[in-house]
Amino acid sequence: MSFEKFKDRNVGEDGYYMVDIEDYPETGWGKFKQVASRSLKGELFVGLWVVLREMFKFDIHTVQYPKEKLPIGPRYRAVHKMLRLFESGTERCIGCGLCEKICISDCIRMDTKYDENSRKEVTEYSINLGRCIFCGYCAEVCPELAIVHGGRYENASEQRAHFVEFEDMLTPIDALKAGQQEEYPGFGAIIPGSDKSVKKTPLAY
């Protein structure tokens, strides 16, 4: 066992380091040089020219977002969804904690407890979308195909840290009953025909 973390008593700056950026000019001459070089390079006009040119062509290919939206493939990875079991309607998540463990941005957190039915119950579950990099590891590791990526990519917010909770991601029960939950074909889903590669366990009954 490493004792390093216990020996470092400098708790305040733990894990921080300085980013290597050019120093701000301090002298008057330095500031002048920076302004001059930025204005005279003319990068600004390149962009303005492109806009002007396209405006006169009247040939606009842009999707009229937000009025229009592009269709999204099943393997696209946007804000997560939590699926339910089709038969019973119970949530698929068993609270195993694998998504929390695998998440490389460490943005999933969950609390679990032993419930009245002697089952593991997920009492709280949140994903910090401000940190999530939508890598899909959580969806891939999930043994229950409970957490998956949906197509909702609009997650702008006023704060860097903003969370989505279990209830928000879970298929509403009436949506499930109305047959609106589809089996997820995307990232981490079972490969079609994978049944064939499973070795069968003998059963005594």
Partner 1 sequence: MANEITITIDGKEIETQEGEFILNAARANDIFIPAICYLTRCSPTLACRICLVEADGKQVYACNAKTKSGMNITTTTENIERERRAIMEVYDVNHPLQCGVCDQSGECELQNYTLEMGVDSQNYTIADVDRPSVDWGHIHYDPGLCIVCERCVTACKDMIGDNSLKTVPRGAGAIDGAFKESMPKDAYAMWNKLNKSVIGLTSGEEMLDCTSCGECAAVCPVGALVDTDYIYTSNAWEHKQVPATCGHCSAGCQISYDTKHTSIDNPEEKIYRVSNEWNYVSLCGAGRYGFDYQNSDVTKDETAFGAALDAFKKADTINFTSTITNEEALILQKMKDKFGYRLVNKDAQDFKTFLRDYSVVSRSSIYGSDLEKVHNTDFVVSVGSALKSDNPNARYAFNNAVQMKGAGLYFHPVADPVVDGMSKNVVSINHAPLQEEAVLYLLLDLFGNKDLLPTKIIDYLATFHSMKTVTVTETIKEKVVTQVTKKVVNKETGEEEEVTSDVTKMVPKKVSKEVEVDDNRLLEIVGAPDKFEETLQKLLKKKETFSLIVGPDLYTHPSSQNIARLVALIEKYSAFELVMIPTLTNTLGVGLICDLDDEAGEYAIGYNTQGDYVLSALGDGDLDMPAINQQEGTLTSINKRVNPTNVAVGYGGYVLNDIANALGLKAEYTIDYTEQLPTARGFKTRKFDDLPNHYTNAGEEVRGYLLGKMPVRMKKDEHVVAIDEDQALDGTLVYLANPVRQFTPFTNKAHQLISEGGLYMSESALSGSELQVGDEVSVKTEAGEVSVKVISDNKIDGEIAYLPTFDANINSEALFGGYRFTTASIEKV
CB of 135 to ligand SF4, least distance (A): 4
**Which amino acid makes up residue 98?**
L
Site for ligand SF4 in 78-137 (CB under 6 A): 93-99, 102-105, 107-108, 127, 132-137
Distance between CA atoms of 118 and 115, rounded to whole angstroms? 5
Nearer to ligand SF4, 142 or 184 (CB): 142
Look at residue 150 and give its three-state secondary structure.
coil
Residue 103 touches which of partner 1, ligand SF4, none (Cβ within 5-8 Å per kind) = ligand SF4
Site for ligand SF4 in 136-155 (CB under 6 A): 136-138, 141-142, 144, 146-147
Residue 176 touches which of ligand SF4, partner 1, none (Cβ within 5-8 Å per kind) = none
170 touches ligand SF4 by CB under 6 A? no
DSSP 1-43: ---HHHH---GGGTT------PPPP-SHHHHHHHHHHHHHT-H
Q: Binder to partner 1 among 76, 126, 136, 168 (CB under 8 A)? A: 126
Site for partner 1 in 45-64 (CB under 8 A): none
Q: Exposed, middle or buried by CB within 10 Å (0-12, 13-18, 19+), for 189?
A: middle
Look at residue 66 and give its three-state secondary structure.
coil
**Which amino acid makes up residue 13?**
E
Look at residue 52 and give its three-state secondary structure.
helix
> Interface with partner 1 by CB under 8 A: which residues?
1, 3, 6-7, 9, 94-98, 100-101, 109-114, 118-121, 124-126, 143-144, 199, 201-205
